Structure 1
Amino acid sequence: MNTSQRAQYEEQGFVILRQFLKPALFQEIKDEINQVGRFIVDPRFDFDTYQPEIMTPKKQSQLYDRLHYLPCLSRLSGNQDLLQACRDLGIAQPVLMGCCNMRYDRPDDARHLFDWHQDTIYLLGSVNAVTIWIPFGPVDAHHGTIQVIPGSHRAGIHPYRKVSDKPVEPHRQFLQRDLSFDGEISEPPVTVEALPGDVIIFKQMLLHRSLPNLSDKVRWTAQVRISDLCEPGYLEAGCPNGDKHNIFFQSYPGFVHPESVKHEN
């Protein structure tokens, strides 16, 4: 990774590494997903084809739940090139935040899109934790992608509000349906454009949102999230993660919890 890429990452909160991953890795993942899809969904399942006639909501949910546990995705989360890229960006001792995840975004389906948010709110992690976003096809305003607000990570945790009736208790996980960004976006967003082989790495503090898939293809993407075991305070705080901690009982530098929310029952 060159000096300008590192500087962009620190200034804007994200960097795109062009043609970083080898095609053979993508084919390995496709082949394994095809095997699982043909077992769970239908023998006609094909990774590269949108098949609404066989991908019912129930089948999609069953497939999506199994994607978290595929061996090939676990290997992706431990890919040495990705981990070295994290080290180059200042992650002294990379540690995984849960397993690798994969998204399956249908054409013209907005139900699972995320509005403006910071991954830190839901997933916690070290102050310098990162999300590695890996597209398996072209991503842009037509195929669906993410938009980011460059530099928004420098403000730390942005205001948020609780939008569900889930009680605030220790060790209770909060998801996107529970917490929402509670601020105004005045800066122009950047729409990420990338091709298979490209890797987008962004700070978990960066404000970002997903855009709808307007194409006639499924948008497949993988997400790997990495914390830094050596980040000051991370080990002392108990290595917070979204499955065992939540933002109401976890502090970050310069952030004050909304008192009216933190103490409600």
Structure 2
Amino acid sequence: TSPTATRPGPTTLEAYQRDGLVVQRALLDPGTYIEPMQTQIRSVIDLARAEAGLGPTTGDAFDAGLPELLDRDRGRAGKVYDAVRKLPAFFNIVNAPPIWSLVKTLLDTELPGWFAAGSGVRMDHPGEDRHLSPWHQDYQAHLCSEDMVVVWIPLVPVDETAGPVVFCPGSHRDGMLPVYLDDPLNEARVGARAMEFVGASERAAGYEQRLIDSGPGDVLAFHGLVLHRSSPNRSTRTRWSMQLRYFNFLDPAARRRGWVGGVNAGVDLSDIHPELIRTRPS
């Protein structure tokens, strides 16, 4: 890690238990972890551009060739979204020792696990608000263990203009929200919008709503029950971020269920938590 990296310790765990959210500045050395990911994404974009009849990317930014690809062949640009989570550099970040150290600290466990099917890369394009996620909790969609930690890693600078995630610190202590389960297995591939969290907006209104600026090398880690939502990207560049989900093998409920994953693993929430399912009023 960078010599200036923030090291997880007792105060980190205390803040996490209080807020359900911690920010670790410069936890990942950009040259070791972030830049290889950016370079490999650029290669994937160029391969997709070639298939779309476009030449190699020009410009210094790793994603400089993406806007033209989006204009030429939106479907092929969507394949980039699916492909980049398969890159070697992606797994290098997943397995980065600073990440595992942080996760072990926050989960307070000697045996953390990584939920592969629940991890990936988001590409949030400027002005495309239809893909924004409303207020939600991550646990209900991903399961594994009820103390799940989500590790959010920006691949580009993210300020208020670029649309950072909005968090409600401390909201994890209220427990699980019930849901309207509109698409139990997310067959429409709409992510967090496959289920609607009952009363989420009303609950969020009672909390501080915190936006956190971040940049490559920074890591945001939050509890799977912290309320959060997307905010719109009003910049001129796609917001690239990684979402990695880690769980606790030693969690008693997870052990009883055999550490099953959520919707991305083909598991219907109603089979695991029937008490959370609500029927929409007619």
- So what's the TM-score if we normalise by structure 2? 0.83
Q: Is the Cα contact below 8 Å between 2:150 and 2:245 reproduced in 1?
A: yes
Q: Which residue of 2 aligns with 1:248?
A: 270
CA contact (8 A) 1:50 1:218 kept: no
What is the TM-score when the length of structure 1 is the normalising length? 0.88
Q: Is residue 46–residue 65 contact of structure 2 (8 Å, CA) maintained in 1? A: no
| 1:159 and 2:178 matched | yes
Q: Which of 142, 146, 152 pairs up with 1:133?
A: 152
Contact 1:50 1:216 in 2 (8 A): no
Instruction: Give the equivalent residue in structure 1 for 2:132.
Output: 113
- Secondary structure of the residue aligned to 2:151 is strand
Aligned to 1:76: 93
Amino acid at match of 2:176: I
Amino acid at match of 1:244: G
Residue range with higher mean Cα deviation, 6-15 or 180-189: 180-189
Q: Identify the range of structure 1 (71-80 vs 198-207) with the bigger mean alpha-carbon deviation.
A: 71-80
Secondary structure at the aligned position of 1:115 is classed as: coil
How far, CA to CA, are the matches of 1:92 and 1:256 in structure 2?
30
The equivalent position to 2:9 in structure 1, one of 2, 8, 28, is 2
Decide whether aligned partners of structure 1 residues 50 and 112 sit closer, same or farther in structure 2, where only a CA change above 3 A counts. Answer: farther
Note if 1:142 corresponds to 2:150: no
> Among 44, 53, 59, which residue is 2:56 paired with?
44
What SS does the corresponding residue of 2:116 show, helix, strand or coil?
coil
Q: Structure 1, residues 136-162: CA drift from partner, whole Å, max 9, x if none?
A: 122222111100111111111113213
Aligned to 1:18: 25
Partner of 1:191: 211
Distance 1:192 1:39 in 2: 34
Q: 1:106 to 1:173 in 2, by over 3 A?
A: closer
- Matched residues, percent identical? 27
Q: CA deviation at 1:207?
A: 0.7
How far 1:173 moved relative to its partner?
Answer: 5.4
The letter for the 2-side match of 1:84 is: S
1:30 paired to 2:38: yes
The answer as to whether partners of 1:91 and 1:228 remain within 8 angstroms in 2 is yes
- The equivalent of 2:3 in structure 1 is none
Deviates more, 1:36-45 or 1:124-133: 36-45
Gaps of 5+ in 1: none
Amino acid corresponding to residue 127 of structure 1 in structure 2: E
Secondary structure of the residue aligned to 1:53 is: helix
1:84-121 per-residue CA deviation (whole Å, 9 max, x = no partner) reads: 11111124311111154111111111122101011111
Match of 1:95 in 2: 113
Within 2, Cα distance between the matches of 1:95 and 1:121? 17
Distance 1:216 1:195 in 2: 16
Distance 1:106 1:44, change over 3 A: farther
Check whether the contact 1:173–1:245 (CA below 8 A) recurs between aligned residues: no
Gaps of 5+ in 2: 1-7
Residue aligned with 1:7, SS: helix
What is the identity, as a one-letter code, of the residue corresponding to 1:20? Answer: L
Cα distance change on mapping 1:133 and 1:91 into 2, 3 Å = farther
Match of 1:59 in 2: 76
Alignment coverage as a number of residue pairs: 252
